[in-house]
A and B are shown apart, each in its own frame.
Chain A
Amino acid sequence: QKEVEQNSGPLSVPEGAIASLNCTYSDRGSQSFFWYRQYSGKSPELIMFIYSNGDKEDGRFTAQLNKASQYVSLLIRDSQPSDSATYLCAVNFLRPGNNRKLIWGLGTSLAVNP
């Protein structure tokens, strides 16, 4: 099993709809989870992070975390064409020596159609 898995997509939704992006991870000890957005030819930029079970809302974005199921998702409400990008899930893994590093999924490509 890959450490962080995402459906590569493309996920296509109409403008105004809710886009749902999913991510599963393998390490039960992971403590924090990040969603980044990457436009084509640009660098990843942070959307939000979550570390407690449940929902966390920030504007049109909601992150949902279920540690028992090792599952984190990102909901985008009222999707806009400008949301069309690749969404990367990153999980903070604790490594030997008490070091941490982010393990990244391959990303889900989202297309919002006008």
Chain B
Amino acid sequence: DTAVSQTPKYLVTQMGNDKSIKCEQNLGHDTMYWYKQDSKKFLKIMFSYNNKELIINETVPNRFSPKSPDKAHLNLHINSLELGDSAVYFCASSRQLLTPTYEQYFGPGTRLTVT
């Protein structure tokens, strides 16, 4: 009964490759997020989708492209991978973006290593 799931859990790839990470939530939430957590453990939001609509798009290289086919899924595609993309990527979901008290639930994370 995993609430927020991500695949793959680990991803090792070479510079210049293109890769995708998939996320699914079965909580019935309206809003989904992608976060990046770097080696210093800083958690930074990348994107947020509310009912399949892009709401937050932080200053992220356009090599990163999110896609939400429906409100239960949010995928992240990364083109031309660079060494600096190595990090743990977390997917999260919450009931609504615009209400201040709704907490976020995180997936297990995808550890991306670019060599």
Contacts and interface: CB of A to CB of B under 8 A. Distances in A.
The prevalent SS among residues of A at the interface is: strand
Interface in A22-46: 31-32, 34, 38, 42-46
Given A102-B45, A104-B42, A107-B41, A46 B103 contact: yes
A34 B103 CA distance: 8
A37 B102 CA distance: 17
Contacts, number: 53
B98 A98 contact: yes
B56 A99 contact: yes
A24 B36 CA distance: 22
A13 interface: no
Contact of A51 (B98, B100, B104): B100
B106 A101 contact: no
Contacts of A100: 97-100
B44 interface: yes
B104 A106 contact: no
A27 to B, nearest CB: 12
A104 B100 contact: no
A43 B100 CA distance: 22
Instruction: Give the interface residue-count category, chain B.
Output: 20 to 34
A63 interface: no
Nearest to B4: A43
Contacts of B56: 95, 99, 101
Interface string B41-68: 1111100100000011000000000000
A104 B37 CA distance: 11
Interface string B68-95: 0000000000000000000000100000
A96 to B, nearest CB: 11
Given A46-B103, A92-B101, A106-B41, 17 more contacts: A34-B104, A43-B108, A44-B43, A49-B103, A51-B100, A88-B43, A92-B100, A98-B98, A99-B48, A99-B56, A100-B97, A100-B99, A101-B45, A104-B42, A104-B44, A106-B40, A107-B41
